[in-house]
Amino acid sequence: MTVNITIIGLGKIGGSIGLALAEHGQLLTRLGHNRSVDASRAAMKAGAIDRYEINLPNSVVNADLVILALPFDQIRETLEIIAPCLKEGVVVMDTAPLKQPILDWVNELLPQGRHYVGLTPVLNPKYLYESGSGFAHAQSDLFHNAVLGIVASQNTPGEAVKLGFDLVNLLKATPYFSDPVEMDGLMTAVHLLPQWLAVSFVNITANKPGWKDARKLAGHPYALVAEGAGLDTPEALALMAKSNQPNSIRLIDSLVNGLIKLKQDILAADQTSLISAFTMAKKDETLWRQEREGFQWADERMISGIKAPTVGEALGRFIGFGLKRPKKQL
């Protein structure tokens, strides 16, 4: 028996999932769909999928697992289109930064007997400073040496959660379990806030008097911050801010308060406080980077009391999923 997987969205994330699963091709069938047919053809040529389907509803008809590797603003529309075509027992996963809004859409749109598990991808530290998107940047080891979040509601069937758990292990990542509220708070801090900071930074520099000359002098420090303004699409960033107001406001307030404190120390010419703040930030950044690049969490094999299986065990359970379909609804 084989597991039929449909990957909708064949960019960096979706393409990398397909490439990572290629070695299990005898037991998994990977069907792809992308708005761009050229991207689908490139993914199939590179071995990330076995075949592609141009028609979106048709792409999920026989799927046991559907992975939505899409920008946040495209997920609800996609769910509306595919929901009537999903067979009973299918598990739908996504790779977007926020989870609670998607869980709400799933509860509204998916028929009974179709289940949802959210995935939060974290990249291999090898690619930490690469910001390109699209299938051209897909890598079979994109998730190695990193955690990969698994998010589900309390009503999600255990078999569906196990499927996500085993998929993460097949991608050679370390599973990290979280509930939607907690995950959204964490991702707002480490994924969204840096982008909003970058957007504000670019807007107050590139659209002000003096930019004509300043742009010629902008170098590495400017590029490091400004690059964050182009990660998620403007449409996705706007919808995530709107859909995640409490976390958004809380963290933006914290950022503003931090800048006000810096302003006060500068006005007071308080060199001691300035040096202390800059030193602490440098220390914390260095520690995080060393731990992240060295994957200091690699030995944390026990996560939420569950021992991570070997790849062989995960593959065996993954294939067996089709024999025991979840019966409970979300």
Residue linked to tokens 């026989």 = 62
| Partners of 312 in the β-ladder | none
| Contact (CB, 8 A) for 135 and 11 | yes
| Contact (CB, 8 A) for 30 and 50 | yes
| Contact (CB, 8 A) for 75 and 104 | no
pLDDT of residue 307: 53
Domain range list for the chain: 3-178+299-323, 183-267
pLDDT of residue 114: 95
pLDDT of residue 268: 97
pLDDT of residue 298: 56
pLDDT of residue 246: 94
| Partners of 91 in the β-ladder | 65, 115
CATH 3.30.200.20 fits 183-267, yes or no: no
DSSP for 186-254, please give it.
HHIIIIIHHHHHHHHHHHHHHTSTTHHHHHHH--HHHHHHHGGGGSS-HHHHHHHHHHTHHHHHHHHHH
pLDDT of residue 321: 61
Q: What angle do CA 239, 68, 139 make, to 5 degrees?
A: 110
Three-class SS of residue 121?
A: coil
Domains 3-178+299-323 and 183-267 belong to one CATH topology: no
Look up residue 149 and give its two tokens: 């979040």
In CATH, which superfamily holds the domain spanning 3-178+299-323? NAD(P)-binding Rossmann-like Domain (3.40.50.720)
pTM of the model: 0.89
pLDDT of residue 328: 42
pLDDT lower than 50: segments of the chain: 301-305, 311, 323, 325-330
Contacts of 223 (CB under 8 A, 6+ apart): none
Long-range contacts of 23-26 (CB under 8 A, 24+ apart): 24/170, 24/315, 25/50, 26/2
Give tens-digit pLDDT for 185-222.
999 999 999 999 999 999 999 988 899 999 999 999 99
Contacts of 105 (CB under 8 A, 6+ apart): 75, 76, 79
Residue linked to tokens 């963290």 = 251
Look up residue 266 and give its two tokens: 């500068």
